[in-house]
Chain A
Amino acid sequence: MPYLARRTGQALIVLAIAFTATFVLLQALPGDAILIKFESPELGLSPEQIADIRASYGADVPAWQQFLHTISGFVVGDFGYSVQYGTPVHELIGTALPETLVLAGLGFVVAVVLAVALAFLSTLAPFGWLRQGLRALPGVFVSVPVFWLGIVLIQVFSFQLRLVPVIGADPVQGLILPVLTLAVPISAPLAQILARSIDEVQLSPFVAVVRAKGASPARVLWRDVARNATLPAITIAGVLIGELIGGAVVTETVFGRAGIGRLTEQAVANQDVAVLQAIVVLAALVFVVVNLAVDLVYPVLDPRLKRKAVAA
Protein backbone atom coordinates (compact mmCIF):
# COMPACT_ATOMS: atom_id res chain seq x y z
CA MET A 1 0.00 0.00 0.00
CA PRO A 2 2.19 2.89 -1.21
CA TYR A 3 -0.54 5.48 -0.52
CA LEU A 4 -0.84 4.51 3.13
CA ALA A 5 2.94 4.48 3.50
CA ARG A 6 3.32 7.90 1.91
CA ARG A 7 0.58 9.48 4.04
CA THR A 8 1.99 7.93 7.22
CA GLY A 9 5.45 9.17 6.28
CA GLN A 10 4.14 12.69 5.75
CA ALA A 11 2.38 12.57 9.10
CA LEU A 12 5.58 11.46 10.84
CA ILE A 13 7.55 14.27 9.16
CA VAL A 14 4.99 16.85 10.30
CA LEU A 15 5.24 15.51 13.86
CA ALA A 16 9.04 15.52 13.78
CA ILE A 17 9.13 19.15 12.56
CA ALA A 18 6.53 20.13 15.18
CA PHE A 19 8.66 18.57 17.89
CA THR A 20 11.87 20.18 16.63
CA ALA A 21 10.27 23.59 16.23
CA THR A 22 8.76 23.56 19.72
CA PHE A 23 12.03 22.27 21.16
CA VAL A 24 14.13 24.96 19.49
CA LEU A 25 11.66 27.72 20.35
CA LEU A 26 10.79 26.69 23.88
CA GLN A 27 13.65 24.75 25.41
CA ALA A 28 16.86 25.92 23.83
CA LEU A 29 16.33 29.58 24.65
CA PRO A 30 18.48 31.26 27.31
CA GLY A 31 15.76 32.63 29.63
CA ASP A 32 14.51 29.23 30.71
CA ALA A 33 12.08 28.35 33.45
CA ILE A 34 14.78 26.98 35.75
CA LEU A 35 16.52 30.34 35.86
CA ILE A 36 13.21 32.14 36.39
CA LYS A 37 12.25 29.88 39.26
CA PHE A 38 15.54 29.43 41.08
CA GLU A 39 17.69 32.42 40.24
CA SER A 40 15.54 35.03 42.02
CA PRO A 41 17.61 36.61 44.84
CA GLU A 42 14.99 35.81 47.50
CA LEU A 43 15.90 32.12 47.36
CA GLY A 44 19.53 32.98 48.01
CA LEU A 45 20.87 30.01 46.08
CA SER A 46 24.54 30.02 45.19
CA PRO A 47 25.59 29.65 41.53
CA GLU A 48 26.83 26.13 42.35
CA GLN A 49 23.44 25.13 43.73
CA ILE A 50 21.72 26.49 40.61
CA ALA A 51 24.16 24.53 38.47
CA ASP A 52 23.23 21.40 40.47
CA ILE A 53 19.54 22.05 39.88
CA ARG A 54 20.16 22.58 36.18
CA ALA A 55 22.06 19.28 36.07
CA SER A 56 19.18 17.47 37.77
CA TYR A 57 16.80 18.76 35.07
CA GLY A 58 19.29 17.78 32.35
CA ALA A 59 19.70 21.40 31.32
CA ASP A 60 23.50 21.56 31.73
CA VAL A 61 24.46 19.56 28.64
CA PRO A 62 24.75 20.98 25.10
CA ALA A 63 21.48 21.67 23.25
CA TRP A 64 21.88 18.79 20.79
CA GLN A 65 22.24 16.30 23.66
CA GLN A 66 19.14 17.73 25.30
CA PHE A 67 17.36 17.38 21.96
CA LEU A 68 18.28 13.70 21.60
CA HIS A 69 17.40 13.05 25.22
CA THR A 70 14.03 14.80 24.94
CA ILE A 71 12.98 13.26 21.65
CA SER A 72 13.88 9.74 22.76
CA GLY A 73 11.82 10.43 25.89
CA PHE A 74 8.83 11.64 23.84
CA VAL A 75 8.90 8.51 21.69
CA VAL A 76 8.38 6.33 24.76
CA GLY A 77 5.93 8.71 26.43
CA ASP A 78 8.33 10.38 28.87
CA PHE A 79 7.89 14.15 28.55
CA GLY A 80 10.39 15.23 31.20
CA TYR A 81 9.68 17.08 34.44
CA SER A 82 7.49 20.10 35.10
CA VAL A 83 9.66 22.85 36.57
CA GLN A 84 6.66 24.34 38.36
CA TYR A 85 5.41 21.21 40.11
CA GLY A 86 8.52 19.03 40.04
CA THR A 87 6.45 16.06 38.92
CA PRO A 88 6.77 14.14 35.63
CA VAL A 89 4.81 15.85 32.86
CA HIS A 90 3.12 12.61 31.81
CA GLU A 91 1.66 12.26 35.32
CA LEU A 92 0.27 15.81 35.18
CA ILE A 93 -1.27 15.14 31.78
CA GLY A 94 -2.52 11.74 32.90
CA THR A 95 -4.48 13.20 35.82
CA ALA A 96 -5.81 16.15 33.79
CA LEU A 97 -6.78 14.21 30.66
CA PRO A 98 -9.93 12.34 31.85
CA GLU A 99 -11.67 15.58 32.91
CA THR A 100 -10.94 17.18 29.56
CA LEU A 101 -11.92 14.08 27.60
CA VAL A 102 -15.35 14.08 29.26
CA LEU A 103 -15.81 17.81 28.61
CA ALA A 104 -14.53 17.69 25.03
CA GLY A 105 -16.36 14.45 24.21
CA LEU A 106 -19.70 15.77 25.42
CA GLY A 107 -19.01 19.14 23.79
CA PHE A 108 -18.35 17.42 20.50
CA VAL A 109 -21.55 15.35 20.69
CA VAL A 110 -23.66 18.41 21.54
CA ALA A 111 -21.96 20.36 18.74
CA VAL A 112 -22.79 17.66 16.20
CA VAL A 113 -26.43 17.52 17.34
CA LEU A 114 -26.66 21.31 17.22
CA ALA A 115 -25.04 21.47 13.77
CA VAL A 116 -27.24 18.76 12.27
CA ALA A 117 -30.37 20.37 13.71
CA LEU A 118 -29.34 23.81 12.40
CA ALA A 119 -28.37 22.55 8.95
CA PHE A 120 -31.56 20.59 8.38
CA LEU A 121 -33.85 23.19 9.91
CA SER A 122 -32.29 25.89 7.78
CA THR A 123 -33.22 23.98 4.63
CA LEU A 124 -36.58 22.64 5.84
CA ALA A 125 -38.06 25.41 7.99
CA PRO A 126 -41.43 26.62 6.71
CA PHE A 127 -40.82 30.35 6.20
CA GLY A 128 -38.20 32.07 4.08
CA TRP A 129 -37.28 34.52 6.82
CA LEU A 130 -36.90 31.70 9.32
CA ARG A 131 -34.60 29.77 6.97
CA GLN A 132 -32.53 32.91 6.38
CA GLY A 133 -32.32 33.53 10.10
CA LEU A 134 -31.18 29.97 10.83
CA ARG A 135 -28.64 30.21 7.99
CA ALA A 136 -27.13 33.32 9.57
CA LEU A 137 -26.82 31.72 13.00
CA PRO A 138 -23.49 29.84 12.44
CA GLY A 139 -21.94 33.13 11.31
CA VAL A 140 -22.97 34.66 14.63
CA PHE A 141 -21.70 31.62 16.57
CA VAL A 142 -18.16 31.99 15.18
CA SER A 143 -18.13 35.72 16.02
CA VAL A 144 -18.81 35.21 19.72
CA PRO A 145 -15.77 35.08 22.03
CA VAL A 146 -15.91 31.70 23.80
CA PHE A 147 -14.94 33.14 27.20
CA TRP A 148 -17.68 35.76 26.95
CA LEU A 149 -20.26 33.15 25.97
CA GLY A 150 -19.36 31.17 29.09
CA ILE A 151 -19.73 34.19 31.34
CA VAL A 152 -23.06 35.17 29.77
CA LEU A 153 -24.37 31.61 30.18
CA ILE A 154 -23.39 31.69 33.87
CA GLN A 155 -25.14 35.03 34.19
CA VAL A 156 -28.36 33.91 32.53
CA PHE A 157 -28.73 30.32 33.75
CA SER A 158 -27.10 30.55 37.17
CA PHE A 159 -27.83 34.07 38.37
CA GLN A 160 -30.98 35.18 36.52
CA LEU A 161 -32.95 31.96 36.01
CA ARG A 162 -31.23 30.06 38.86
CA LEU A 163 -31.47 26.81 36.89
CA VAL A 164 -27.88 25.69 37.46
CA PRO A 165 -26.35 26.24 40.89
CA VAL A 166 -22.99 28.06 40.99
CA ILE A 167 -21.86 26.60 44.29
CA GLY A 168 -22.35 22.98 45.28
CA ALA A 169 -23.31 21.77 41.82
CA ASP A 170 -23.06 18.01 41.34
CA PRO A 171 -20.70 16.82 38.56
CA VAL A 172 -23.49 16.50 36.02
CA GLN A 173 -24.91 19.96 36.71
CA GLY A 174 -21.39 21.34 36.66
CA LEU A 175 -20.91 20.05 33.12
CA ILE A 176 -24.02 21.59 31.53
CA LEU A 177 -22.79 25.14 30.96
CA PRO A 178 -19.14 24.29 30.07
CA VAL A 179 -20.30 21.72 27.52
CA LEU A 180 -22.69 24.25 25.97
CA THR A 181 -19.97 26.91 25.90
CA LEU A 182 -17.60 24.55 24.14
CA ALA A 183 -20.22 23.19 21.72
CA VAL A 184 -21.60 26.43 20.27
CA PRO A 185 -18.50 27.66 18.39
CA ILE A 186 -17.57 24.11 17.30
CA SER A 187 -21.03 23.56 15.82
CA ALA A 188 -20.80 26.62 13.54
CA PRO A 189 -18.36 25.42 10.84
CA LEU A 190 -19.99 21.99 10.90
CA ALA A 191 -23.45 23.47 10.37
CA GLN A 192 -22.15 25.64 7.51
CA ILE A 193 -20.55 22.70 5.70
CA LEU A 194 -23.63 20.53 6.22
CA ALA A 195 -26.06 23.20 4.99
CA ARG A 196 -23.93 23.84 1.91
CA SER A 197 -23.65 20.17 1.01
CA ILE A 198 -27.37 19.59 1.62
CA ASP A 199 -28.01 22.35 -0.93
CA GLU A 200 -25.61 20.77 -3.40
CA VAL A 201 -26.98 17.27 -3.04
CA GLN A 202 -30.58 18.46 -3.38
CA LEU A 203 -29.71 19.99 -6.75
CA SER A 204 -27.87 16.93 -8.07
CA PRO A 205 -29.49 14.90 -10.86
CA PHE A 206 -29.90 11.66 -8.93
CA VAL A 207 -32.15 13.36 -6.40
CA ALA A 208 -34.35 14.61 -9.24
CA VAL A 209 -34.51 11.04 -10.58
CA VAL A 210 -35.49 9.62 -7.17
CA ARG A 211 -38.18 12.30 -6.84
CA ALA A 212 -39.45 11.65 -10.37
CA LYS A 213 -39.78 7.97 -9.53
CA GLY A 214 -42.22 8.96 -6.83
CA ALA A 215 -40.18 8.78 -3.62
CA SER A 216 -41.70 10.61 -0.69
CA PRO A 217 -39.96 13.84 0.48
CA ALA A 218 -39.01 12.11 3.74
CA ARG A 219 -37.35 9.19 1.94
CA VAL A 220 -35.46 11.57 -0.34
CA LEU A 221 -34.31 13.60 2.63
CA TRP A 222 -33.19 10.82 4.96
CA ARG A 223 -32.04 8.15 2.55
CA ASP A 224 -30.58 10.12 -0.33
CA VAL A 225 -29.80 13.67 0.77
CA ALA A 226 -28.77 13.11 4.39
CA ARG A 227 -26.43 10.20 3.65
CA ASN A 228 -24.63 12.03 0.88
CA ALA A 229 -24.55 15.41 2.58
CA THR A 230 -22.92 14.25 5.81
CA LEU A 231 -19.80 12.91 4.07
CA PRO A 232 -17.99 16.23 3.44
CA ALA A 233 -18.43 17.14 7.11
CA ILE A 234 -16.02 14.35 8.08
CA THR A 235 -13.16 16.15 6.34
CA ILE A 236 -13.06 18.93 8.94
CA ALA A 237 -12.89 16.50 11.89
CA GLY A 238 -9.19 17.30 12.46
CA VAL A 239 -9.78 21.05 12.53
CA LEU A 240 -12.68 20.60 14.95
CA ILE A 241 -10.51 18.54 17.33
CA GLY A 242 -7.98 21.38 17.32
CA GLU A 243 -10.73 23.86 18.14
CA LEU A 244 -11.96 21.59 20.92
CA ILE A 245 -8.49 21.73 22.53
CA GLY A 246 -8.31 25.53 22.18
CA GLY A 247 -11.88 25.82 23.45
CA ALA A 248 -11.04 23.63 26.46
CA VAL A 249 -8.29 26.06 27.53
CA VAL A 250 -10.78 28.93 27.65
CA THR A 251 -13.76 26.96 28.96
CA GLU A 252 -11.84 25.35 31.81
CA THR A 253 -10.42 28.72 32.79
CA VAL A 254 -13.82 30.44 32.79
CA PHE A 255 -15.54 27.68 34.75
CA GLY A 256 -12.57 26.94 37.00
CA ARG A 257 -12.43 23.27 36.00
CA ALA A 258 -9.32 21.12 36.23
CA GLY A 259 -8.06 19.64 32.98
CA ILE A 260 -5.62 19.92 30.10
CA GLY A 261 -6.81 23.43 29.29
CA ARG A 262 -6.17 24.64 32.82
CA LEU A 263 -2.79 22.91 32.80
CA THR A 264 -1.92 24.75 29.58
CA GLU A 265 -3.03 28.09 30.96
CA GLN A 266 -0.93 27.63 34.09
CA ALA A 267 2.06 26.37 32.12
CA VAL A 268 2.04 29.61 30.14
CA ALA A 269 1.60 31.75 33.24
CA ASN A 270 4.54 30.00 34.96
CA GLN A 271 6.75 29.58 31.86
CA ASP A 272 6.64 25.82 32.38
CA VAL A 273 7.93 24.97 28.92
CA ALA A 274 8.16 21.20 29.34
CA VAL A 275 4.42 20.99 30.05
CA LEU A 276 3.51 23.31 27.17
CA GLN A 277 5.74 21.45 24.72
CA ALA A 278 4.21 18.11 25.65
CA ILE A 279 0.68 19.48 25.21
CA VAL A 280 1.50 21.13 21.87
CA VAL A 281 3.14 17.99 20.46
CA LEU A 282 0.28 15.80 21.71
CA ALA A 283 -2.27 18.17 20.12
CA ALA A 284 -0.37 17.97 16.82
CA LEU A 285 -0.28 14.17 17.16
CA VAL A 286 -4.06 14.02 17.65
CA PHE A 287 -4.61 16.30 14.66
CA VAL A 288 -2.31 14.28 12.40
CA VAL A 289 -3.80 10.94 13.46
CA VAL A 290 -7.39 12.14 13.02
CA ASN A 291 -6.60 13.54 9.57
CA LEU A 292 -4.84 10.34 8.58
CA ALA A 293 -7.85 8.33 9.76
CA VAL A 294 -10.22 10.58 7.80
CA ASP A 295 -8.13 10.16 4.64
CA LEU A 296 -8.18 6.39 5.01
CA VAL A 297 -11.84 6.08 6.00
CA TYR A 298 -13.25 8.46 3.41
CA PRO A 299 -12.82 6.19 0.37
CA VAL A 300 -14.49 3.39 2.33
CA LEU A 301 -17.51 5.57 3.06
CA ASP A 302 -17.65 7.03 -0.44
CA PRO A 303 -17.11 4.21 -3.00
CA ARG A 304 -16.83 6.77 -5.83
CA LEU A 305 -13.46 7.88 -4.43
CA LYS A 306 -12.21 4.33 -4.09
CA ARG A 307 -12.78 3.72 -7.78
CA LYS A 308 -10.89 6.93 -8.61
CA ALA A 309 -8.03 6.00 -6.33
CA VAL A 310 -7.73 2.57 -7.95
CA ALA A 311 -7.84 4.13 -11.43
CA ALA A 312 -5.13 6.61 -10.47
Chain B
Amino acid sequence: MRRRLRGIRPGLVVAWTVIAVVIAWAIVPWLFTGQDPLAGVPAEKLQAPSGAHLFGTDAIGRDLFTRVVHGAVHSLSGAFVAVTVGLVGGTLLGVLAGSLGGAVDAVVMRLVDVLLAIPGLLLALSIIILLGFGTVNAAIAVGVGSVAAFARLSRSEVVRVRQADYVEAAFGSGARLHAVLFRHVLPNSLTAVVGLAALQFGTAILAISTLGFLGYGAPPPTPEWGLLIAEGRNYVATSWWLTVLPGLVVVAVVLSANRISHALGRTR
Protein backbone atom coordinates (compact mmCIF):
# COMPACT_ATOMS: atom_id res chain seq x y z
CA MET B 1 0.00 0.00 0.00
CA ARG B 2 2.76 2.43 0.91
CA ARG B 3 4.65 1.53 -2.16
CA ARG B 4 1.59 2.20 -4.26
CA LEU B 5 1.12 5.63 -2.65
CA ARG B 6 4.75 6.51 -3.18
CA GLY B 7 4.60 5.35 -6.78
CA ILE B 8 1.44 7.24 -7.67
CA ARG B 9 1.42 10.65 -6.04
CA PRO B 10 4.13 12.51 -8.00
CA GLY B 11 2.60 11.49 -11.32
CA LEU B 12 -0.80 12.71 -10.22
CA VAL B 13 0.62 16.04 -9.05
CA VAL B 14 2.31 16.53 -12.42
CA ALA B 15 -0.94 15.63 -14.19
CA TRP B 16 -2.98 18.18 -12.23
CA THR B 17 -0.25 20.80 -12.81
CA VAL B 18 -0.34 20.23 -16.57
CA ILE B 19 -4.13 20.55 -16.64
CA ALA B 20 -4.04 23.66 -14.42
CA VAL B 21 -1.45 25.34 -16.66
CA VAL B 22 -3.40 24.54 -19.83
CA ILE B 23 -6.63 25.85 -18.28
CA ALA B 24 -4.76 29.04 -17.36
CA TRP B 25 -3.55 29.26 -20.99
CA ALA B 26 -7.16 29.08 -22.09
CA ILE B 27 -8.45 31.71 -19.66
CA VAL B 28 -5.61 34.25 -19.46
CA PRO B 29 -3.26 33.58 -22.40
CA TRP B 30 -1.80 37.09 -22.24
CA LEU B 31 -0.17 36.29 -18.88
CA PHE B 32 2.01 33.68 -20.56
CA THR B 33 3.01 35.45 -23.73
CA GLY B 34 3.09 39.03 -24.90
CA GLN B 35 3.10 38.24 -28.62
CA ASP B 36 0.32 38.15 -31.17
CA PRO B 37 -0.90 34.66 -32.18
CA LEU B 38 -2.15 35.81 -35.59
CA ALA B 39 0.25 38.55 -36.77
CA GLY B 40 3.75 37.41 -37.69
CA VAL B 41 7.08 39.15 -38.19
CA PRO B 42 8.14 37.98 -41.68
CA ALA B 43 11.80 38.73 -40.97
CA GLU B 44 11.77 36.14 -38.17
CA LYS B 45 10.18 33.25 -40.08
CA LEU B 46 11.05 29.60 -39.44
CA GLN B 47 13.41 30.24 -36.56
CA ALA B 48 14.39 27.31 -34.34
CA PRO B 49 13.36 27.38 -30.66
CA SER B 50 15.35 29.99 -28.68
CA GLY B 51 15.02 32.23 -25.65
CA ALA B 52 13.00 34.79 -27.61
CA HIS B 53 10.79 32.13 -29.27
CA LEU B 54 10.43 29.14 -26.92
CA PHE B 55 8.83 26.91 -29.59
CA GLY B 56 10.41 28.71 -32.58
CA THR B 57 8.46 30.55 -35.29
CA ASP B 58 6.34 29.41 -38.24
CA ALA B 59 6.49 30.13 -41.97
CA ILE B 60 5.17 33.68 -41.66
CA GLY B 61 7.10 34.53 -38.51
CA ARG B 62 4.43 33.92 -35.88
CA ASP B 63 5.66 32.79 -32.45
CA LEU B 64 4.64 29.12 -32.13
CA PHE B 65 4.52 29.11 -28.32
CA THR B 66 2.07 32.03 -28.44
CA ARG B 67 -0.06 30.14 -30.94
CA VAL B 68 -0.06 27.00 -28.78
CA VAL B 69 -1.03 29.05 -25.69
CA HIS B 70 -3.85 30.81 -27.55
CA GLY B 71 -4.92 27.49 -29.07
CA ALA B 72 -5.62 25.98 -25.65
CA VAL B 73 -9.01 27.67 -25.44
CA HIS B 74 -10.16 25.98 -28.68
CA SER B 75 -9.08 22.49 -27.67
CA LEU B 76 -10.30 22.78 -24.07
CA SER B 77 -13.68 24.36 -24.84
CA GLY B 78 -14.15 21.85 -27.66
CA ALA B 79 -13.42 18.96 -25.31
CA PHE B 80 -15.72 20.54 -22.72
CA VAL B 81 -18.60 20.78 -25.21
CA ALA B 82 -17.95 17.21 -26.39
CA VAL B 83 -17.93 15.76 -22.87
CA THR B 84 -21.06 17.75 -21.96
CA VAL B 85 -22.91 16.41 -25.00
CA GLY B 86 -21.85 12.85 -24.19
CA LEU B 87 -22.49 13.20 -20.46
CA VAL B 88 -25.95 14.78 -20.72
CA GLY B 89 -27.16 12.70 -23.67
CA GLY B 90 -25.64 9.44 -22.48
CA THR B 91 -26.65 9.76 -18.85
CA LEU B 92 -30.20 10.70 -19.81
CA LEU B 93 -30.50 7.65 -22.08
CA GLY B 94 -28.82 5.35 -19.57
CA VAL B 95 -30.92 6.49 -16.61
CA LEU B 96 -34.10 6.22 -18.66
CA ALA B 97 -33.22 2.71 -19.83
CA GLY B 98 -32.06 1.56 -16.41
CA SER B 99 -34.98 2.94 -14.41
CA LEU B 100 -37.88 2.29 -16.79
CA GLY B 101 -36.67 -1.08 -18.07
CA GLY B 102 -38.79 -3.13 -20.45
CA ALA B 103 -39.33 -1.86 -23.98
CA VAL B 104 -37.62 1.51 -23.35
CA ASP B 105 -34.55 -0.31 -22.11
CA ALA B 106 -34.48 -2.59 -25.16
CA VAL B 107 -34.89 0.28 -27.63
CA VAL B 108 -32.27 2.51 -25.97
CA MET B 109 -29.73 -0.26 -25.72
CA ARG B 110 -30.16 -1.19 -29.39
CA LEU B 111 -29.49 2.46 -30.25
CA VAL B 112 -26.38 2.32 -28.09
CA ASP B 113 -25.32 -0.85 -29.92
CA VAL B 114 -25.58 1.05 -33.20
CA LEU B 115 -23.48 3.91 -31.86
CA LEU B 116 -20.87 1.38 -30.72
CA ALA B 117 -20.92 -0.47 -34.04
CA ILE B 118 -19.81 2.59 -36.03
CA PRO B 119 -16.11 3.47 -35.57
CA GLY B 120 -15.75 6.72 -33.59
CA LEU B 121 -14.07 8.70 -36.35
CA LEU B 122 -16.63 7.65 -38.99
CA LEU B 123 -19.47 8.58 -36.64
CA ALA B 124 -17.88 11.99 -36.05
CA LEU B 125 -17.39 12.49 -39.81
CA SER B 126 -21.04 11.57 -40.52
CA ILE B 127 -22.20 14.21 -38.06
CA ILE B 128 -19.79 16.79 -39.46
CA ILE B 129 -21.01 16.21 -43.00
CA LEU B 130 -24.48 16.91 -41.58
CA LEU B 131 -23.69 19.95 -39.43
CA GLY B 132 -20.87 21.44 -41.51
CA PHE B 133 -17.27 22.23 -40.56
CA GLY B 134 -16.30 24.30 -37.50
CA THR B 135 -15.05 24.11 -33.93
CA VAL B 136 -18.43 23.69 -32.25
CA ASN B 137 -19.70 21.21 -34.84
CA ALA B 138 -16.55 19.12 -34.50
CA ALA B 139 -16.98 19.16 -30.72
CA ILE B 140 -20.63 18.06 -30.96
CA ALA B 141 -19.64 15.30 -33.40
CA VAL B 142 -17.03 13.99 -30.99
CA GLY B 143 -19.52 14.24 -28.11
CA VAL B 144 -22.12 12.10 -29.89
CA GLY B 145 -19.44 9.42 -30.17
CA SER B 146 -19.14 9.25 -26.38
CA VAL B 147 -22.91 9.05 -25.75
CA ALA B 148 -22.77 5.25 -25.94
CA ALA B 149 -20.11 4.90 -23.23
CA PHE B 150 -21.98 7.22 -20.84
CA ALA B 151 -25.31 5.50 -21.53
CA ARG B 152 -23.92 2.04 -20.83
CA LEU B 153 -22.16 3.12 -17.64
CA SER B 154 -25.06 5.10 -16.18
CA ARG B 155 -27.51 2.33 -17.04
CA SER B 156 -25.44 -0.29 -15.25
CA GLU B 157 -24.98 2.07 -12.28
CA VAL B 158 -28.72 2.70 -12.06
CA VAL B 159 -29.45 -1.01 -12.25
CA ARG B 160 -26.83 -1.64 -9.54
CA VAL B 161 -28.08 1.07 -7.18
CA ARG B 162 -31.73 0.13 -7.73
CA GLN B 163 -31.08 -3.28 -6.27
CA ALA B 164 -29.63 -1.78 -3.06
CA ASP B 165 -31.68 -2.31 0.08
CA TYR B 166 -32.08 1.37 0.88
CA VAL B 167 -33.56 2.06 -2.54
CA GLU B 168 -36.02 -0.75 -2.08
CA ALA B 169 -36.81 0.72 1.34
CA ALA B 170 -37.40 4.13 -0.26
CA PHE B 171 -39.83 2.58 -2.74
CA GLY B 172 -41.41 0.63 0.11
CA SER B 173 -42.02 3.79 2.12
CA GLY B 174 -44.00 5.22 -0.79
CA ALA B 175 -41.45 7.29 -2.76
CA ARG B 176 -42.13 7.90 -6.45
CA LEU B 177 -39.69 6.81 -9.16
CA HIS B 178 -38.37 10.29 -9.99
CA ALA B 179 -37.90 11.14 -6.31
CA VAL B 180 -35.85 7.99 -5.77
CA LEU B 181 -33.88 8.72 -8.94
CA PHE B 182 -32.83 12.21 -7.87
CA ARG B 183 -32.40 11.42 -4.20
CA HIS B 184 -30.60 8.09 -4.27
CA VAL B 185 -29.77 6.71 -7.67
CA LEU B 186 -28.13 9.73 -9.33
CA PRO B 187 -25.89 10.79 -6.40
CA ASN B 188 -24.69 7.22 -5.97
CA SER B 189 -23.89 6.78 -9.64
CA LEU B 190 -22.03 10.05 -9.88
CA THR B 191 -18.47 8.98 -9.02
CA ALA B 192 -18.23 6.44 -11.80
CA VAL B 193 -19.68 8.89 -14.30
CA VAL B 194 -17.22 11.63 -13.29
CA GLY B 195 -14.32 9.19 -13.74
CA LEU B 196 -15.54 8.38 -17.24
CA ALA B 197 -15.98 12.09 -17.99
CA ALA B 198 -12.30 12.70 -17.16
CA LEU B 199 -11.27 9.85 -19.44
CA GLN B 200 -13.53 11.12 -22.25
CA PHE B 201 -12.01 14.57 -21.84
CA GLY B 202 -8.62 13.25 -22.91
CA THR B 203 -10.15 11.21 -25.72
CA ALA B 204 -12.11 14.27 -26.89
CA ILE B 205 -8.96 16.42 -27.06
CA LEU B 206 -7.35 13.75 -29.26
CA ALA B 207 -10.42 13.41 -31.48
CA ILE B 208 -10.89 17.17 -31.86
CA SER B 209 -7.24 17.65 -32.81
CA THR B 210 -7.64 14.84 -35.37
CA LEU B 211 -10.67 16.57 -36.92
CA GLY B 212 -8.74 19.87 -36.84
CA PHE B 213 -5.83 18.18 -38.60
CA LEU B 214 -8.11 16.79 -41.31
CA GLY B 215 -9.42 20.34 -41.80
CA TYR B 216 -12.96 19.82 -40.50
CA GLY B 217 -12.59 21.89 -37.34
CA ALA B 218 -11.68 25.53 -36.86
CA PRO B 219 -10.66 27.34 -40.09
CA PRO B 220 -7.17 28.88 -40.46
CA PRO B 221 -5.61 31.02 -39.02
CA THR B 222 -7.17 29.77 -35.77
CA PRO B 223 -4.30 28.35 -33.68
CA GLU B 224 -6.19 25.10 -32.92
CA TRP B 225 -3.66 22.40 -32.00
CA GLY B 226 -4.54 19.88 -34.73
CA LEU B 227 -4.51 22.63 -37.33
CA LEU B 228 -1.12 23.89 -36.07
CA ILE B 229 0.34 20.45 -36.69
CA ALA B 230 -1.33 20.26 -40.11
CA GLU B 231 0.18 23.62 -41.06
CA GLY B 232 3.63 22.57 -39.81
CA ARG B 233 3.47 19.43 -41.93
CA ASN B 234 4.81 21.18 -45.04
CA TYR B 235 8.02 22.01 -43.22
CA VAL B 236 8.87 18.61 -41.65
CA ALA B 237 12.13 18.39 -43.56
CA THR B 238 13.52 21.66 -42.25
CA SER B 239 11.53 22.86 -39.22
CA TRP B 240 10.83 19.93 -36.88
CA TRP B 241 9.57 22.17 -34.07
CA LEU B 242 6.42 23.17 -35.97
CA THR B 243 4.96 19.67 -35.68
CA VAL B 244 6.85 18.08 -32.77
CA LEU B 245 6.25 20.70 -30.07
CA PRO B 246 2.46 21.25 -30.45
CA GLY B 247 2.09 17.46 -30.65
CA LEU B 248 4.00 17.02 -27.39
CA VAL B 249 1.63 19.50 -25.74
CA VAL B 250 -1.36 17.44 -26.92
CA VAL B 251 0.26 14.23 -25.64
CA ALA B 252 1.00 15.83 -22.24
CA VAL B 253 -2.58 17.07 -21.83
CA VAL B 254 -4.15 13.75 -22.86
CA LEU B 255 -1.78 11.74 -20.65
CA SER B 256 -2.63 14.00 -17.71
CA ALA B 257 -6.39 13.72 -18.26
CA ASN B 258 -6.08 9.93 -18.45
CA ARG B 259 -3.94 9.86 -15.31
CA ILE B 260 -6.50 11.92 -13.39
CA SER B 261 -9.41 9.78 -14.58
CA HIS B 262 -7.49 6.71 -13.42
CA ALA B 263 -7.08 8.26 -9.96
CA LEU B 264 -10.77 9.22 -9.83
CA GLY B 265 -11.72 5.65 -10.75
CA ARG B 266 -9.50 4.31 -7.95
CA THR B 267 -11.04 6.40 -5.17
CA ARG B 268 -14.46 4.93 -5.89
Contacts and interface: CB of A to CB of B under 8 A. Distances in A.
A and B interact physically: yes
Contacts of B26: none
A147 interface: yes
A243 B120 CA distance: 8
B110 A17 contact: yes
A152 B242 CA distance: 11
Interface string A272-290: 0100110110011001100
A100 interface: no
A206 interface: no
Interface in A148-176: 148, 151-152, 154-155, 159
A29 B216 CA distance: 20
| Majority-rule SS of B interface residues | helix
A145 B129 CA distance: 22
Contact of A280 (B118, B206, B258): B118
Contact of A250 (B113, B210, B236, B243): B210
Contacts of A279: 122
Nearest to B240: A155
B117 A29 contact: no
A75 B113 CA distance: 21
Contact of A148 (B114, B215, B247, B259): B247
B111 interface: yes
A268 B128 contact: yes
Nearest to A15: B117
A283 B122 CA distance: 9
A246 B126 CA distance: 13
A245 B216 CA distance: 18
Residue among A147, A159, A254, A277 having the largest count of chain B Cβ atoms under 10 Å: A147
Interface stretch (A136-144, A211-219, A304-312): A136-144
Interface residues of B, number: 43
A155 B244 contact: yes
A13 to B, nearest CB: 6
B58 to A, nearest CB: 15
A245 B120 CA distance: 9
Given A147-B213, A151-B236, A250-B121, A26 B126 contact: yes
A271 interface: yes
Contacts of B195: none
Given A18-B114, A152-B244, A268 B125 contact: yes
A246 B119 contact: yes
Interface string B213-224: 111100000000
A246 B237 CA distance: 27
Contacts of B229: 145, 147-148, 151
Interface in A8-34: 10, 13-15, 17-18, 21-22, 25-26, 29
A146 B122 CA distance: 15
B84 interface: no
A18 B117 contact: yes
| Range class of the A interface residue count | 35 or more
A246 B121 contact: yes
Interface stretch (B177-185, B186-194, B248-256): B248-256
B214 A250 contact: yes
Given A18-B117, A139-B258, A155-B243, A144 B251 contact: yes
A242 B119 contact: yes
Given A18-B117, A243-B119, A264-B122, A13 B110 contact: yes
Contacts of B126: 22, 25-26, 276-277, 280
Contacts of A155: 236, 240, 243-244
B143 interface: no
Contacts of A21: 114
Interface in B116-153: 116-123, 125-130
A303 B233 CA distance: 52
A13 B110 CA distance: 8
A243 B122 CA distance: 10
Contacts of A268: 125, 128-129, 214, 216
A195 interface: no
7 contacts: A145-B213, A242-B120, A243-B119, A246-B119, A250-B213, A264-B122, A268-B129
Given A145-B226, A246-B120, A249-B122, 6 more contacts: A14-B114, A148-B229, A242-B118, A254-B233, A283-B118, A284-B118
Interface of A: 10, 13-15, 17-18, 21-22, 25-26, 29, 132, 139-140, 142-148, 151-152, 154-155, 159, 242-243, 245-246, 249-250, 253-254, 264-265, 267-269, 271, 273, 276-277, 279-280, 283-284, 287-288
